[in-house]
A and B are shown apart, each in its own frame.
Chain A
Amino acid sequence: MSTGISRRVYQRLIPLFIVSVFAGISLIVYFVTPSAASKAVSGEILQWGVVLSTVTMIYASITIMVMHTRRLAERKETTRMLFNSSVMVGSFVMVMAIGLFAPGGLTSELLEAVTTYIFGYIYAGILTDWAYHPYTSYRRFRLISAESTVMFITFLFTVLRNMTAVVVAVPGIAVIGDWIAAVPAMATMRAALAAAGIGQLVLGIRALAQREPGLIELEMK
Chain B
Amino acid sequence: MGIILLVVIVTVMFNPVGLPISVSQQTQDFYNRLIKLKEGETVLWGFEGAVIGAYTEKKTAMRAVAQTIAKQKANIVWVSFYPHNPGQLLAFIEYSGLTKPPFNYKYGENIVIMPFLPGEETAMAAIAAGLKATFSTDVKGISIGDIPLLKKVDKITDFNLVLIQFGIFTYAEMFMRQWPAKYGIQVISMCTYSVVAAYYGTYVIGDLDLVRGNAEFEKLTGILGEDIVYMDIRNINCGITLALIAFGNIALYWSKVKKVPAEAKK
Chain A residues within CB distance 8 Å of chain B: 43, 46-47, 49-50, 53-54, 57, 106-108, 111-112, 115-116, 119-124, 126-128, 131-132, 134-135, 137-139, 141-144, 152, 156, 159-160, 162-168, 171, 174, 178, 181-182, 185-186, 189-190, 193
Contacts of A159 in B (CB 8 A): 238, 241-242
Contacts of A128 in B (CB 8 A): 6, 9
Interface flags, B1-19, vs A, CB<8A=1, else 0: 1100110010000000001
Contacts of A137 in B (CB 8 A): 241, 245
Binds A, one of B61-69, B80-88, B145-153: B80-88
Q: How far is the CA of A164 from the CA of B235 in the complex (A)?
A: 7
CB distance from A132 to the nearest CB of B (A): 5
Contacts of B249 in A (CB 8 A): 141-143
CB distance from A152 to the nearest CB of B (A): 8
B88 x A112 contact (CB < 8 A): yes
B197 x A185 contact (CB < 8 A): yes
- Subset of 21 A-B contacts with CB under 8 Å: A47-B126, A49-B126, A50-B119, A53-B118, A106-B87, A107-B86, A107-B140, A120-B55, A121-B53, A123-B56, A124-B56, A127-B57, A131-B6, A138-B241, A159-B241, A163-B238, A164-B215, A164-B231, A166-B235, A185-B194, A189-B195
- Report which of A112, A119, A138, A152 forms a contact with B1, defined as CB distance below 8 A: A138
Chain B residues within CB distance 8 Å of chain A: 1-2, 5-6, 9, 19-22, 24-25, 51-57, 83-84, 86-88, 90-91, 116-120, 122-123, 125-126, 129, 133-134, 139-140, 173, 193-195, 197-198, 200, 209, 211-212, 215-216, 231, 234-235, 237-242, 244-245, 248-249, 252
A138 x B245 contact (CB < 8 A): yes
A163 x B216 contact (CB < 8 A): no
The chain A residue sitting closest to B244, CB to CB, is A138
CB distance from A121 to the nearest CB of B (A): 8
The chain B residue sitting closest to A122, CB to CB, is B53
Q: How far is the CA of A128 from the CA of B116 in the complex (A)?
A: 30
CB distance from B218 to the nearest CB of A (A): 12
CB distance from A123 to the nearest CB of B (A): 2
A138 x B248 contact (CB < 8 A): yes
A115 x B87 contact (CB < 8 A): yes
B252 x A142 contact (CB < 8 A): yes
A57 x B118 contact (CB < 8 A): yes
- Report which of B9, B24, B129, B140 forms a contact with A43, defined as CB distance below 8 A: B129
Q: How far is the CA of A166 from the CA of B24 in the complex (A)?
A: 13
Contacts of A162 in B (CB 8 A): 209, 211-212, 234, 238
A135 x B2 contact (CB < 8 A): yes
Contacts of B239 in A (CB 8 A): 163
- Report which of B88, B140, B211, B241 forms a contact with A134, defined as CB distance below 8 A: B241
- Report which of A160, A164, A171 forms a contact with B216, defined as CB distance below 8 A: A164
When A43-B129, A131-B2, A182-B197 are in contact, do A53 and B123 touch as well, CB less than 8 Å? yes
- Report which of A115, A163, A167, A193 forms a contact with B84, defined as CB distance below 8 A: A115
Q: How far is the CA of A47 from the CA of B25 in the complex (A)?
A: 39
Contacts of A171 in B (CB 8 A): 22
Contacts of A111 in B (CB 8 A): 84, 87
Q: How far is the CA of A82 from the CA of B123 in the complex (A)?
A: 36
Contacts of A139 in B (CB 8 A): 248
Q: What 3 pairs between A and B have smallest CB-CB spacing?
A: A123-B53, A53-B119, A49-B122
Contacts of B237 in A (CB 8 A): 134
B139 x A107 contact (CB < 8 A): yes
Contacts of B173 in A (CB 8 A): 193
Contacts of B21 in A (CB 8 A): 164-165, 168
A132 x B2 contact (CB < 8 A): yes
Contacts of B211 in A (CB 8 A): 162
